[in-house]
A and B are shown apart, each in its own frame.
Chain A
């Protein structure tokens, strides 16, 4: 009773805004949320916005996708095209293809929306990829954020699934070929392959069910999962607070940056429109997925240059790089490894990415929380492993376009394939060594600068005739950035409480040595104070 009588009093004091605010507050207690979130601090660095790019492109995908669902018919019923695109008039095709062509040619704004949707999808997965690389190379996945890395990884997988199901919906020649490859991969699994394929397609490929099924996944299940995981992901970001790069005044306990209200909310809101604008600009100028060229799906033709969208390219590349003849006949059956081996290799690669935070935590044995992001050079082992992984992925990725590389650089197909096979195996090793050496060299440079200052370019002639270059000392703020990092020492191999050295201990010590044997220790206070005397 007392609360209801308070409202008119406030209204008479502060006008409509105050009355409305009071009304809301009394019914929702929202002020606690505003107080908590409005003062939430986010650090300001361009690389922290990559995840936001992914989020915003997802919003664009939701908006444009909703428009498309108004007109798309997820059916493989046979129809005859009678729309306005002349070279397909009178051609038999599925209702899905027919309605996609209608969206492209006969519905106002339809083609733009289709292109916005598709370009935004490519940007969504690309932004996730770049965001993951940023997290990886700065070590932002360390405790307490390991679980959030896994959630983000799940989002990456879900985004690829969203992309692939969407790519398959128009039922054009390209998407049908893509599905045929998936069908082949599924059928290549030993024992269960054929069963799974028939289950998936509701009979022999392509059947009449797959577009409807993919549509349900594409607009219902997968987006629901993506939204749920994004919510979880962002909740964790709030709970953990954002990481920040080392600088003066930034510690493991604080976050230096702008509060959400008003600065960050304004910036982020504006940035949403910038991302939206860039996507619409690209979509209005550049064709994507011209299904009118591809024509309706028909199992007999396969176009030259048939590729999946970029994010599935690494899987396509893995299939292309398998040398021929990995099969034998035994018990009157052909045992083929052409499919199962690349599938297993990709599976291993993906699982390694997913569990990397736990692997690294196990190797270092570090149980502390880390809120200061590493500079990549300050953890040469991790950076080198990352570089090797990127090279491995890049070789698979390039292999998916082996035919286009061959025609455009006037090379032979075989030459391109063999080179990429070599890159797949040797590339990661070379990248590992080079990245590690570069990191260590950069650390050495940092160490020299922190201790002796930077070369000022001023040459001074001493009374004795000697020429020296004057080194200027860094200011305290700059130096802090160079010296505040951690460096792990390789674990000592010690017997456990029962006096035994287990195999897992040996493995762990070996990995630790591999990671941290070559290392540059950060400059200590004593060294800095001692160093001043020299120059």
Chain B
């Protein structure tokens, strides 16, 4: 969903510049369109299948669970000393944790780190479907809740009040205690943002639908999408970290270049 607008903007930029590799770019666009079309066709048939074959998906999910998750979460997902019970966490929690690569964890640590996703999309959905059968919990959000066409201003306000103290106003992330941290939100998909809010992964609190309504959640997603897709009007953002990166930049590059220039000005001519 997010990859599509990205490829078009990139290819438009290349051809607009009359790059010497324009032919290559054209071929790439052609291949991209064919591939994309094929993938779209493929996924539409796949989703049609899952709707009818959810029993099969649950069984598949159970097998994956036994092989990959049961070591820590227990054979019946009721938890062990090494991992919490998954009964009632819902499909959304699985889709977030596994879909962002946080689960299965590589090792115990202050918190589960994001890493390359270990399963295909179908496998993630199967796992989610299986865990959802264990007890009622938040479901994977419907696509209509994720469209970034809400009220960005309201979303921004909600984000500043509810999220910025950990994630930073620009979504750049921030530190928590004991080595834990709130991650950078720039490359998080709308679905994962929504799921994080309803399930409260790791140290994040749960923002349920009474606390922040689904429309408000969509506004927050709209705001985050806006700041991701609209780079700073002031130029390079220096990580969006605020005065620390500004100060470091000024001392190293600003004052550094000025000092280099003073040396140049006072250098004796040969």
Binds A, one of B66-74, B75-83, B161-169: B161-169
A90 contacts chain B at the CB level, 8 A cutoff: yes
Q: How large is the interface on B (under 10, 10 to 19, 20 to 34, 35 or more residues)?
A: 35 or more
CA distance A287 to B243 in the complex (A): 11
Contact yes or no, B175 A406, CB < 8 A = yes
Contact yes or no, A403 B227, CB < 8 A = no
Which chain B positions have C-beta within 8 A of A123? 250, 254-255, 258
Which chain B positions have C-beta within 8 A of A309? 243, 246-247
Contact yes or no, A278 B257, CB < 8 A = yes
Contact yes or no, B177 A122, CB < 8 A = no
Which chain B positions have C-beta within 8 A of A310? 243-244, 246-248, 250-251
- Least CB separation from B253: chain A residue: A282
One digit per residue, 1 when the CB lies within 8 angstroms of any chain A CB and 0 when it does not, for chain B 236-270 equals 11101111111111110111011101110110000
Which chain B positions have C-beta within 8 A of A348? none
Which chain B positions have C-beta within 8 A of A111? 233-234
B232 contacts chain A at the CB level, 8 A cutoff: yes
Contact yes or no, B168 A130, CB < 8 A = no
Which chain A positions have C-beta within 8 A of B234? 104, 111, 115, 286-288, 290
Q: A122-B254, A123-B255, A303-B164 are in contact. Are A308 and B243 (CB under 8 A)?
A: yes
Which chain B positions have C-beta within 8 A of A15? none
Contact yes or no, A49 B232, CB < 8 A = no
CA distance A316 to B178 in the complex (A): 21
CA distance A33 to B164 in the complex (A): 60
B164 to nearest A CB, angstroms?
4
A406 to nearest B CB, angstroms?
4
Which chain A positions have C-beta within 8 A of B249? 282, 286
Q: A123-B255, A278-B254 are in contact. Are A306 and B265 (CB under 8 A)?
A: no
Contact yes or no, B240 A293, CB < 8 A = yes
Number of interface residues, chain A, beta carbon within 8 A = 71
Option from B153, B174, B232 in Cβ contact (under 8 Å) with A90: B153
- Least CB separation from A48: chain B residue: B266
A515 contacts chain B at the CB level, 8 A cutoff: no
B115 to nearest A CB, angstroms?
14
A86 contacts chain B at the CB level, 8 A cutoff: yes
Which chain A positions have C-beta within 8 A of B177? 412-414
Which chain A positions have C-beta within 8 A of B181? 406-407
Which chain A positions have C-beta within 8 A of B261? 271, 274, 278
CA distance A402 to B177 in the complex (A): 12
Q: A286-B234, A304-B182, A310-B247 are in contact. Are A87 and B254 (CB under 8 A)?
A: no
Which chain B positions have C-beta within 8 A of A44? 266
Within A295-334, the residues touching B (CB, 8 Å) are 295, 298, 300-310, 313
Which chain A positions have C-beta within 8 A of B235? 115, 284-287
Contact yes or no, B157 A46, CB < 8 A = no
CA distance A230 to B166 in the complex (A): 43
CA distance A404 to B242 in the complex (A): 10
Q: A126-B250, A278-B258, A293-B227 are in contact. Are A305 and B236 (CB under 8 A)?
A: no
Which chain B positions have C-beta within 8 A of A274? 261, 265
Contact yes or no, A46 B262, CB < 8 A = yes
A84 to nearest B CB, angstroms?
10
A88 contacts chain B at the CB level, 8 A cutoff: yes
Which chain A positions have C-beta within 8 A of B250? 119, 122-123, 126, 282, 310
Contact yes or no, B175 A403, CB < 8 A = yes
Contact yes or no, A87 B169, CB < 8 A = no
- Least CB separation from B263: chain A residue: A46
CA distance A295 to B157 in the complex (A): 8
Option from A50, A278, A295, A401 in Cβ contact (under 8 Å) with B160: A295
Contact yes or no, B164 A301, CB < 8 A = yes
A195 contacts chain B at the CB level, 8 A cutoff: no
Q: A127-B258, A282-B254, A287-B235 are in contact. Are A295 and B169 (CB under 8 A)?
A: yes
Which chain B positions have C-beta within 8 A of A308? 243
CA distance A522 to B199 in the complex (A): 73
Which chain B positions have C-beta within 8 A of A122? 246-247, 250, 254
Q: A123-B255, A286-B234 are in contact. Are A303 and B153 (CB under 8 A)?
A: no
Which chain B positions have C-beta within 8 A of A48? 266
CA distance A174 to B232 in the complex (A): 17
A275 contacts chain B at the CB level, 8 A cutoff: yes
- Least CB separation from B176: chain A residue: A413
Contact yes or no, B258 A53, CB < 8 A = yes
- Least CB separation from B183: chain A residue: A407
- Least CB separation from A400: chain B residue: B244
A267 contacts chain B at the CB level, 8 A cutoff: yes
A89 contacts chain B at the CB level, 8 A cutoff: yes
Which chain A positions have C-beta within 8 A of B240? 290, 293
B200 to nearest A CB, angstroms?
17
- Least CB separation from A50: chain B residue: B262
B187 to nearest A CB, angstroms?
16
Option from B167, B179, B236, B259 in Cβ contact (under 8 Å) with A287: B236
- Least CB separation from A81: chain B residue: B153
Contact yes or no, A412 B179, CB < 8 A = yes
Most chain-B CB neighbours within 10 Å: which of A49, A267, A270, A411? A49
B84 contacts chain A at the CB level, 8 A cutoff: no
One digit per residue, 1 when the CB lies within 8 angstroms of any chain B CB and 0 when it does not, for chain A 522-533 equals 000000000000
Can you offer 5 A-B residue contacts whose CB atoms are under 8 A?
A87-B153, A88-B156, A111-B234, A286-B249, A303-B169
Besides A304-B172, A310-B250, A407-B175, 5 new A-B residue pairs in contact (Cβ under 8 A), listed by A number: A87-B153, A274-B265, A286-B238, A292-B233, A309-B243
B residues in contact (CB < 8 Å) with A: 110, 152-153, 155-157, 160-161, 164-170, 172-179, 181-182, 223, 226-227, 232-238, 240-251, 253-255, 257-259, 261-263, 265-266
